[in-house]
Structure 1
Amino acid sequence: MSLYTPPSFALSDQEQQGRLIRDYPFATFITSLAGAEPHISHLPLLLEADGSLSGHLARANPHWQAFAEGETVAVFHGPHAYVSPRWYVHPEREVPTWNYAVVHVHGRPELDEDAGFKLDLLDRSSAAFEPAVGGWTRQLDAARQNALLDAIVAFRLRPSRIEGKCKINQNKTPADRAQVAAQLRASAHPELLTMAAWMEALDVR
């Protein structure tokens, strides 16, 4: 499973890859099996300090049973936006396109059934995703907590390969990029504003 990436669109900087994963942690998790349909799940993943990814699946989900049988890739979808030909300097020469940024993390997930690991993972996940004000803290009794921990399977994926792609008009002129970014910023849509910021950051490097 490889990502088609023209050289001008490659996102190879590890800091930028990590930023995208942290900002867009809800991944499409795919395990391919020879001669069978792939397993696909959607779940949040934590990027650890060593570059690995941690997460969990419901034990009832058969996906985790395929980890040892095939290759797995976590697909992180970053900001994206439709780009109209009208936004370029010479619109008569252009066609519609879509700007986007993604990161694919490949590897074989390793299961960890330790209750302490699971509990720590869940606590760190809630700390990462809860609102800064009025966050949630765990108040489960021991029996309920143990039952819920038994109902999930935790894992860590250590990357064997990471691919990043950031297609944000790098193949256009600075004037074209500036006009596209201005149109995106004028929309006031949060996702489009983020894409405009990515484009503007590219132009100051």
Structure 2
Amino acid sequence: MRQNPSFTLADVAEMRRVIEQNPWATIVSAADEGQVASHYVMMLDEDRDDLTIVGHVGRPDDLIHGMGERELLVVFQGPHGYVSPGWYGKDTQAVPTWNYIALHLAGVPEILGDDENLRVLDRLVERFEGRMPDPRLMWERPNDEAFVRRLAAGTVGFRLTPTRVVAKRKLSQNKDAATVENVIAELQGDGVYANPALADEMRRAQDARPGRKA
């Protein structure tokens, strides 16, 4: 990912927030037959305060990616969307663009043992199913231990502490404040490219700009 100083995201707390709110990730690795990619839910390691993530892949994706033997690139993507040049003002020279947030975490993962993999799977189910009005958690009936362990055996859990991180938050930081406010207003509106989540991220980035009053 081409980096631009205007759009660099270096705040670990902000990167953790993006991961927490956007857990669906893409795993990329260089296999013998070429580049391969898979898509899985990832979570921050609850025992760490850095960018260490935990997750799992289904077999045989562990073999396809050479899990534990070669570097993985894990890509997280936050809200993104189209920005019309018409939002910059009638007399402003401009072309269309796309605003977005993306995080690239690279490193060689550590393979989890069976018991730790089960704990991660349990936490994953609890995180998402726990929001349901009548949650069906992993260990609750009608599931029994044999059923849970049989399904878990079809997965390979891992922990990745990245050795390389590239994060980018392209949210019109290179535009003047009035233009940014207009883009935010358009994204919050009811037009064909309305995108409230992206507008919220732009507001967050705008408020974090140097010299911005709290």
Using the alignment, how far apart are the partners of 1:83 and 1:67 within structure 2? 38
Deviation for aligned residue 1:180:
0.3
Work out whether residues 187 and 193 of structure 1, in 8 Å CA contact, stay in contact via their aligned partners in 2: no
Work out whether residues 75 and 104 of structure 1, in 8 Å CA contact, stay in contact via their aligned partners in 2: yes
Work out whether residues 31 and 67 of structure 1, in 8 Å CA contact, stay in contact via their aligned partners in 2: no
Deviation for aligned residue 1:89:
2.6
Counterpart residue number, 2:18: 20
Q: Which runs of 5+ in 1 are unaligned?
A: none
1:129 aligns with 2:128: yes
| Residues 1:184 and 1:47: Cα distance change in structure 2 (over 3 Å) | same
Aligned to 1:134, the other structure's residue is in SS state: coil
Which of 35, 38, 46 in structure 2 is aligned with 1:38?
Answer: 35
Aligned to 1:79, the other structure's residue is in SS state: coil
Aligned to 1:39, the other structure's residue is in SS state: strand
Which of 174, 177, 180 in structure 2 is aligned with 1:177?
Answer: 180
Q: Which runs of 5+ in 2 are unaligned?
A: 209-214
Aligned to 2:189, the other structure's residue is in SS state: helix
**1:128-167 alignment runs, 5 A limit:** 128-130=127-129, 131=131, 133-138=133-138, 139=140, 140-167=143-170
Per-residue deviation, residues 60-98 of structure 1 (Å, max 9, x unmatched): 335465134432111001010100011013454010000
**1:63-78 alignment runs, 5 A limit:** 63=63, 66-78=66-78
2:120 maps to a residue whose letter is L
Deviation for aligned residue 1:59:
1.7
Per-residue deviation, residues 157-196 of structure 1 (Å, max 9, x unmatched): 1111221100011111111100000000003899811111
| Residues 1:104 and 1:41: Cα distance change in structure 2 (over 3 Å) | same
CA RMSD of aligned residues (A): 2.1
Work out whether residues 44 and 55 of structure 1, in 8 Å CA contact, stay in contact via their aligned partners in 2: yes
Identity, % of aligned pairs? Answer: 33
| Residues 1:32 and 1:187: Cα distance change in structure 2 (over 3 Å) | farther
Aligned length: 201
Counterpart residue number, 2:211: none
TM-score by length of 1: 0.89
Using the alignment, how far apart are the partners of 1:201 and 1:40 within structure 2? 31
Which of 5, 8, 11 in structure 1 is aligned with 2:6?
Answer: 8
Structure (1 or 2) with the greater helix fraction: 1
Using the alignment, how far apart are the partners of 2:197 and 2:91 within structure 1? 24
Q: Which runs of 4+ in 1 moved over 4 A?
A: 62-65, 188-191
Counterpart residue number, 1:194: 197
Decide which moves more: 76-85 or 125-134: 125-134
